[in-house]
Amino acid sequence: MKNLTVFCGSSLGTDEIYERQAFKLGRTLAERSIGLVYGGADVGLMGAVANGCLSKGGRVTGVLPRFIKDKGIAHKNLTEMILVETMHERKTKMDELSDGVIALPGGFGTLEEFFEVLTWGQLGLHKKPVGILNINGFYDPGIF
């Protein structure tokens, strides 16, 4: 089975279309037998993409630092939850598990994760596809 890492916000954002599209992406991954690898939370767009995948019986792997788990936002219904110590270890593990990366709307953390994986590709550390799902123009100039 192939896996796709999804980076996205831990909040729902300012437009309900972000949540609907995150859920739809998760559902579509499951329908195409593509596993989801994501940050492991049950809140925001992260929770929506995971719930979409789970709603169709998809495989969902969360990678969550212990200090975030201690905040009580870990998704409890995942196929697998991998606990790590640091944010860097989280990105490394997600990269190891995935065959590609897509970023949905999010904040600074989403951008940081996306740009690090993009940089790894530029440096030749992987040859995975990396892309942005620009829901409702979220990443258009002047919007974000």
One pLDDT digit (tens) per residue for the chain, 144 residues:
699 999 999 999 999 999 999 999 999 999 999 999 999 999 999 999 999 999 999 999 999 999 988 888 999 999 999 999 999 999 999 999 999 999 999 999 999 999 999 999 999 999 999 999 999 999 998 765
61 forms bridges with which residues in the sheet?
37, 80
Domain of 56 in residue numbering reads as: 2-137
In a domain, 143, yes or no: no
pTM for the full model? 0.94
In a domain, 142, yes or no: no
In a domain, 113, yes or no: yes
User: Residue 109, exposed/middle/buried by CB under 10 A (0-12, 13-18, 19+)?
Assistant: middle
We report the CATH number of the domain holding residue 25 as: 3.40.50.450
In a domain, 77, yes or no: yes
In a domain, 76, yes or no: yes
Q: How many domains does the chain have?
A: 1
Residue 143's pLDDT is what?
62
Residue 144's pLDDT is what?
57
